[in-house]
Chains A and B, each alone.
Chain A
C-alpha cells in the first residue's frame, strides 16, 4: 500500500478526525508562538538596548536555551501544573492551554535570542539618529521592533518551526488524548508505535505541507511589506 495513500484519502474525504488534529496542531503552535512573541520581543529588545551586570551570562544562557530538550520543558511544566504543583490550582494540565503554555516556554528563548540579535544590529545603525531625535527608551524599543519587523518574521518562523515539530512537551503536558489534546506529532508517535506506518507517514507529510504553507504565507507577507515600506 502506498504510504501517503490513506492520509491523502483522509485529506480528500475531509476526515473529521484528521482535521481536528491538524486544527489543534495549528492552534496550539501558533498560539504558543504568539504568546512567546508578546513576551519575547520586548525582552529581546531590552537585552539589546540595556547594559546591566550579568547581561553577558544571561545572553549566553538564553542562547543555550534555544536548544532546550522539549521533554525537559514538558516535565517542568508538568510539575508546575500538576495538582500539587504551584500552578496546580489552574487545573489546566492535559488541556490545550497547558500545551500552549509549555510550547511558549520552549519557543521563548528562540524568540528572545534571535530578536535580541536583530534589534542589536538595527540599534547599531539607528543609535545616533534616534538619540539626535531625543527618542526615549520606550520609543526606541517600539521603533526598533517596528523597523525590524521583516527580520522578526523570520524569528517567528524559527519559533513556529520548533513548536510545530516537537512532540515531547505536548505529549507530557497534553497527554495525547484522542479528540482533545492529540496533535499531529503526538498522533504520528502513537501511530508509529501501534505499527500503522502508512497513517504515520501520511500524517508526517501533512505536517510538513502545513509547515511549508505557513512559511510560504510569511514569505509572501514579508515580500509585499518590503516592497511597500522598504
Chain B
C-alpha cells in the first residue's frame, strides 16, 4: 500500500507560483518537519491556500522546487487534504469513507470495520447511512476529516476547515485535528483565525503577499514576533 519512505520533511526550495505574471507565492523557502501542527496564517490573499496546494502536489511550482522526503514528486505521497468547502460524493456518509479506503487499496473485507471506527472518531456513526450532501456544514467537515484520515496519511493538509463554521462545529473540528496530530499525523493547516492558531499550533508560518515573513515556534511567534508585520498581525492591526 505505502512505501517505507517518509514524505517528511516537505521542503520548499525557492518555490514560486505565478499566474498571469503575478506571483501568488514568491520564492518560498520553508521546511515542514515532523512534529506538532504547523499553522499557516496571514491575511486573505497572502498565499496560504496556494502554499497548501503546492505542498499537496495539486499544483506545480513555476520556479524553484518542492521536495517530499527528498523526492521531487508528490506521486504516491501519503498526503491527504481537507478543503475549505469539501466536496461530498453523492453517496452516503459511510460510502464516502468507503471510497477513500478503496482508493488506498484497503480490501473490501477490511473496510466495514474501518468505516465504523473512522465515523466514530468524528462522532458521525449515527449518520452513517445519511446522504453525505444532506449533512450540515459542520458534519460535512467532520466527514471530510474522517475521509482524509481514511487514507492513513503521514501529512494532513487543511485549508481553513472552520472558515464557515459556528463555534461548536469549530470546536468539534479542532478536537479531531488535535486527536489526529496526537496520533502522529503531521498537520499543516491554514487559518485566518489567530485564536485557532494559538490553540493548535506547534509552529507558525506567517505569510504576507506570497512571502514567508516569519516562521517560528508558536510561543515565540505570539510573545515576541521578530518582524514588525507579525507583531502588527498578532496585535490585531490590519496587515495588508
Contacts and interface: CB of A to CB of B under 8 A. Distances in A.
12 contacts: A128-B87, A129-B87, A132-B56, A132-B80, A133-B99, A133-B100, A139-B103, A147-B90, A149-B90, A229-B92, A230-B130, A230-B133
A228 B59 CA distance: 36
Contacts, number: 48
Given A135-B103, A230-B90, A128 B58 contact: yes
Interface string B78-98: 011101001111111001000
Interface string B4-47: 00000000000000000000000000000000000000000000
B131 interface: yes
Contact of A230 (B56, B58, B81, B134): B134
A132 B151 CA distance: 10
Interface of B: 56, 58, 76, 79-81, 83, 86-92, 95, 99-100, 103-104, 130-134, 151
Given A229-B92, A229-B95, A230-B92, 5 more contacts: A129-B87, A132-B81, A135-B103, A229-B91, A230-B130
B132 A128 contact: no
Contacts of B132: 230
A149 B91 CA distance: 11
Contacts of B76: 134
A107 to B, nearest CB: 25
> In the complex, which of the residues B58, B95, B99, B151 has the most CB atoms of chain A within 10 Å of its own CB atom?
B99
Contacts of A134: 76, 103-104
A133 B91 contact: no
Interface of A is mostly: helix
A126 B99 CA distance: 14
B131 A229 contact: yes
Contacts of A129: 83, 86-87
A230 B134 CA distance: 7
A132 B91 CA distance: 18
Interface string A116-137: 0000000001101101111100
Interface residues of A, number: 17
B87 A230 contact: no
A149 to B, nearest CB: 8
Contacts of A132: 56, 58, 79-81, 83
Contacts of A229: 90-92, 95, 131
Contacts of B100: 133
A126 B85 CA distance: 11
Nearest to A129: B87
B131 A230 contact: yes
Contacts of B130: 230
A149 B151 CA distance: 26
B103 A147 contact: no
Contacts of A150: 90
> In the complex, which of the residues A133, A135, A150 has the most CB atoms of chain B within 10 Å of its own CB atom?
A133
A150 B79 CA distance: 32
| 6 residue pairs, one from A and one from B, having the closest CB atoms | A230-B131, A230-B133, A132-B81, A147-B90, A129-B87, A133-B103
A215 interface: no
A229 B99 CA distance: 14
A131 B56 CA distance: 10
A139 B91 CA distance: 16
